[in-house]
Amino acid sequence: MKKTLKVLVADPISPKGVELLKNQGFETVEAYGSTPEQVKELIKDADAVIVRSETKITADVLACAKQLKAVGRAGVGVDNIDIPAASEKGVVVMNTPTGNTIATAELTFTHMLCGTRPISQANASIHSGVWDRKSFKGSELKNKTLAVLGMGRIGAEVAKRAMAFGMKVLAYDPFLTEARAKTLGVEMVELQDAFKRADYITVHMPLTEATKYMLDEKAFEMMKKGVRVFNCARGGIIKESALVEALKSGKVAAAGLDVYESEPLAKDSPLRDFPNLVLTPHLGASTKEAQESCGIEVAEVIADALNGGAIRNAINKPSIDAESMKQISPYITLCEKLGLFVQQISQERVKKLTIKYFGKLGNIDNKLLTLAVQKGYLSKISENANDVNAPAKIKHLGIEVESINSNAETDYSELVEVTATCESGATHGAAGTVMGKSAKPRIVRINAHNVELNPLSKCVILLLNDDKPGMVGTIGTIIGKYGCNIANMTLSRAEDGSVALSIYELDTTPSADAVAELNALDNVNVVRVVDFE
């Protein structure tokens, strides 16, 4: 009987998301408001866990999870999840990048408007019984320059709204292309240029080592006097102590924050002392529409991951849609087998894996293929290697991985070549492609020898021997003597006729005695057994 998979919903999501999980047959445990210790207990037998921003999935929590496969974040930011620890454990982490796009963009623009017209302050004044029109003079957005730092989905939506108000938009994003910037109608600039030219600055980037304190004392020094600054992305991108000093000095005329370095915001935080700083308690996704959308989306990605479908919105694994996966799946199998093959023919310590893609394969996103090579390489030498933890495990072994798209011509329209470079400088490599309408994977070259080898066979034995009469018969006799049936055979001779590479696809793995007898033959130089299963 098939085991029922358990999904722990640690933070509140839309009831429609919970209902979706239950309808798909998952044991769905709603444990809102659990303490860290309670989460550790509940996660022990969970196959997946869903969180928002409240529950922290730390390394300690992950250490308690015995069968966890996926973590889903109902929202964009994943700084409450230990990504390296999850990757090390082979747990895929996914988020919902589209669900709160409009909600966060609209909140950002609300902050911009409040920083332009002192609506919040005027509202507080009139509620206190005062009628004071003179103290709340504002400004206009039209003809002002806005710098958007991070031109992803949310940044693009903010830019669209800013242009509707007649603003000029500068965009800083290391991954933004000229073509995309032209489509969006924004001007690409470098970060320092954005700081110097902007009247308004808003950030829409994840919190990483590169973005932490992106707006610090030096950044504020470069800005115009009277600049307005806003952050509805991640706390820590703006250095709060630097913002406090910039507000005190008048360098920053107004600001708005929805996120903070530490949440909830401390009662004695100096940020609370500035009437021209509008503060909201992390409301970016707090709309009815966004909550429902994120709840449904996170349930869908978790269900797909547990049911063996396409992995979507993965943070620690390349994602691909189902249709694209169908197209490249034969190459994924091939790449896994190439990695496994090269590992087994390399008897020395390997320091580098080089993966080259030729022909049409050089024109696609081949991250998944590179990942497959690493996973295959590890399959016989590392426990529980999977699509998520393979890069970390390879790195721990001290192996460098290089992926190259090559324009060189080959005999095949698509070709993948994997080469292992050993510490001694010796190299061992194999290349493969897929053939025919059924897209069967084939290894077509081993080192300098052209071959045709089926990597879906159970086992192969490779022999490099002197090219002399009778060798094939002698080798075949020994293999048969030990009860191994030969399913197929390939022979490749060196151009000078001195040595030959013979490959025997076998139905069973040869015994140690069989391999020893083959190694003892006078004219045999190398014997390697490769187990493809």
CATH number at residue 505: 3.30.70.260
When pLDDT is averaged across residues 191-203 and rounded to a whole number, the result is 98
Of 243, 25, 254, 11, the C-alpha closest to 119 is: 254
What backbone torsions phi and psi does residue 215 show, to the nearest 5 degrees? Answer: -105, 90
> Which pLDDT band, with edges at 50, 70 and 90, does 387 fall under?
confident
pLDDT at residue 187 in the model: 97
Name, of 136-150, 446-460, 485-499, the range with top average pLDDT. 136-150
Let me know if residue 284 belongs to a domain: no
Are residues 297 and 352 part of one domain? no
Let me know if residue 401 belongs to a domain: yes
Are residues 337 and 298 part of one domain? no
Measured CA to CA, the distance from residue 357 to residue 408 in angstroms comes to 10
Of 504, 502, 503, 507, the C-alpha closest to 485 is: 507
Start-end of H helices in 24-141: 36-42, 59-64, 83-89, 101-116, 119-127
Are residues 84 and 194 part of one domain? no
What residues act catalytically?
Answer: 234, 263, 282
Other Cβ atoms less than 10 A from the Cβ of 27: the count is 15
Are residues 462 and 452 part of one domain? no
Angle between helix 119-127 and helix 101-116 axes, rounded to 10 deg:
70
Measured CA to CA, the distance from residue 274 to residue 253 in angstroms comes to 11
pLDDT at residue 91 in the model: 93
pLDDT at residue 373 in the model: 94
Let me know if residue 1 belongs to a domain: no
CA distances from 331 to 213, 320, 327 (A): 42, 14, 9
- Residue for token digits 């922290």? 56
Let me know if residue 148 belongs to a domain: yes
When pLDDT is averaged across residues 486-501 and rounded to a whole number, the result is 80
**Segment 26-77, tens digit of pLDDT:** 999 999 999 999 999 999 999 999 999 899 999 999 999 999 999 999 987 7
Domains identified in the chain, total number: 4
Of 18, 26, 20, 21, the C-alpha closest to 2 is: 26
| pTM for this predicted structure | 0.63
Mark 361-373 as b/e (b = at least 16 C-beta within 10 Å).
bbebebebbbbbb
Are residues 521 and 473 part of one domain? yes
* Burial of 487 from C-beta contacts in 10 A (0-12 / 13-18 / 19+): middle
Measured CA to CA, the distance from residue 452 to residue 440 in angstroms comes to 12
Measured CA to CA, the distance from residue 461 to residue 293 in angstroms comes to 54
Are residues 435 and 476 part of one domain? no
Range of the domain at 243: 101-279
Let me know if residue 489 belongs to a domain: yes
> Which pLDDT band, with edges at 50, 70 and 90, does 347 fall under?
confident
Are residues 145 and 251 part of one domain? yes
Mean pLDDT, the chain, as a whole number?
Answer: 91
pLDDT at residue 320 in the model: 64
Are residues 462 and 350 part of one domain? no
**Segment 125-171, tens digit of pLDDT:** 999 999 999 999 999 999 999 999 999 889 999 999 999 999 999 99
